[in-house]
A and B are shown apart, each in its own frame.
Chain A
Amino acid sequence: MTRADYLALLFAALLLPYLYVTQWTGDEAGSAISIMNGSETTQVSLAHDHTLEIDGPLGTSVIKIEDGRVRFMASPCLGKQCIHSGWLEHAGEFAACLPNRISVAVLGKTPRFDSINF
């Protein structure tokens, strides 16, 4: 092992944590949410904790905003996919209740993407 070998190892040892930190964290925290109820869209700030009750075709969905996060608390649908989506906090995260036609998207400063095609 030469001195340059140790430098190469040091370089790798520093580069890996740098990559993990820059690529795997630092997701932008959401500042507001956009609630789509049927074709209507409303924007709500994430700054204040409160609970929203939204009426859809099936009944009332309950959406809770707390500590800059948002989640579905209750829904009249069968699958409860929206509730299982859990807390959303990063810009670009999304939860939807298709039976009740209600969806919640977290907004950031820059919109990430609205669809991905392969």
Chain B
Amino acid sequence: MNNDVKKCADAPTEAPTNTPGSITLKTTSEDHLIAWLAALAIAIHIIESVLPSPLPGVKPGLANVITIAVFMLYGWRTAVWVSMLRVLVGSILIGTFLSPTFMLSFSGAVASLIVLWLASRLPGEGLGPIGLCLLAAMAHMFGQFYTAYLLFIPHEGLFKLLPLLMTAAVVFGIISGIIVRSMLQHLDKVAHDILPPKRNAQES
């Protein structure tokens, strides 16, 4: 009891709120988690943006590996945070914020988050990493394709590209699914005690 009171009395002197005019934001451990994971996704996003692409819109989408892994470990809400922060901060750092590239990336991310939300509602054991990545990649492609069609190139001829784009989405979706699967297996083995998985908590 005494100890508790003492701790409370000590707390204001420890916290850096004494400087007048400074504001200290209270951050939760969830905020820190989101920030770390989003930083990881942003780094991958930026590295990937340097890679040359054979067709506009075709990209391995490796940053989505993080989104799917976060979705499986910490649930949909955290995945939304990480994915949206990646699109926003990534575009600001590359310099494409509010440009067509950003619109495509944003709409793709929203479409794949919608699919992930639907996947989280599935009964039974639901989807594994490969199914999640595959469906998310395809949703991403549909999302950005329709945005491109509605906003930038409203011509029927664009649909001739859809089969090729969707093939790329399927191939890269399966590849990132395999990456997520081996990543989660590795995490389960090595860092089970470091990362508190909420997978079971969410299901129950």
Interface residues of A (CB under 8 A from B): 1-9, 11-12, 15-16, 19-20, 23-24, 116
Contacts and interface: CB of A to CB of B under 8 A. Distances in A.
Given A9-B134, A23-B162, A16 B128 contact: no
A7 B132 CA distance: 11
A12 B138 contact: yes
A20 B122 contact: no
Given A12-B170, A16-B170, A4 B125 contact: yes
Contact of A2 (B125, B134, B163): B125
Contacts of B167: 16
B124 interface: yes
B163 A24 contact: yes
B128 A2 contact: yes
Interface residues of B, number: 21
A19 B166 CA distance: 8
B122 A4 contact: yes
B127 interface: yes
Given A15-B166, A16-B167, A5 B127 contact: yes
A2 B126 CA distance: 7
Contact of A1 (B122, B130, B160): B130
Contact of A8 (B124, B127, B160, B163): B127
Contacts of A1: 128, 130-131
Nearest to B138: A12
Given A8-B135, A16-B167, A2 B127 contact: yes
Contacts of A4: 122, 124-128, 131
Given A12-B138, A23-B159, A5 B166 contact: no
Nearest to A13: B170
B131 A19 contact: no
A6 B124 CA distance: 14
Contacts of B170: 12, 16
A20 B164 CA distance: 8
A16 B163 contact: yes
A8 B134 contact: yes
A5 B68 CA distance: 14
A1 B155 CA distance: 39
B163 A12 contact: no
A19 to B, nearest CB: 4
A60 B204 CA distance: 83
A99 to B, nearest CB: 29
A24 B157 CA distance: 10
Contacts of B166: 15-16, 19
Contacts of B160: 23-24
A38 to B, nearest CB: 30
Top 7 nearest A-B pairs by Cβ distance? A5-B131, A8-B131, A19-B163, A20-B163, A4-B127, A5-B128, A12-B170
A5 B130 CA distance: 7
